[in-house]
Amino acid sequence: MSDGANPCTACGACCAAFRVDFHPVELAGGAFAWAGGVPLALTVPVTAQLVRMRGSDASPPRCAALAGTVGECVACTIYDARPSPCREFDPSHDACARARARHGLPPLPV
């Protein structure tokens, strides 16, 4: 699953550390969906204006779309259709270092 070029493909810590909420327009068939949108089966409704990636609110959290072993080799099974919070996540941000620390991983080099 890892291509070796992107450090995220050997990490996945963010996918197993944070709740992922987004607007329903990003669901499959939604007005603002990428690549067909997030599959409904991988989400849970929160409110009329909010859905959540299944598993991201579990204890411990782990997004249902994450395949592989955190810290070794991972892949997002819906990468092209992933929701906006995932698209906007920045590996250079402190949140990445916090997620990696939760899994015993060092911060990525800057």
Kindly provide the b/e burial profile for residues 45-74, where b requires at least 16 CB atoms within 10 angstroms of the residue's own CB.
eeeeeebbbbbbeeeebbbbbbebebeeeb
Query: Tens place of pLDDT for every residue, the chain, 110 residues?
Result: 444 567 888 899 999 999 999 999 999 987 777 778 999 999 999 999 999 999 999 999 999 999 999 999 999 999 999 999 999 999 989 999 999 999 999 998 87
The DSSP H or E segment spanning 76 is strand 73-76
What are the residue ranges spanned by the domains of the chain?
7-102
Q: What is the DSSP letter of 79?
A: G
List, as one string, the DSSP characters of 3-65.
-SS-GGGG--GGGGTS--EE-GGGBTT-TT-STT-B-GGGEEEEETTEEEETTTTSSS---TT
- 73-76 vs 66-69, strand pairing mode: antiparallel
Stated pTM of the model: 0.88
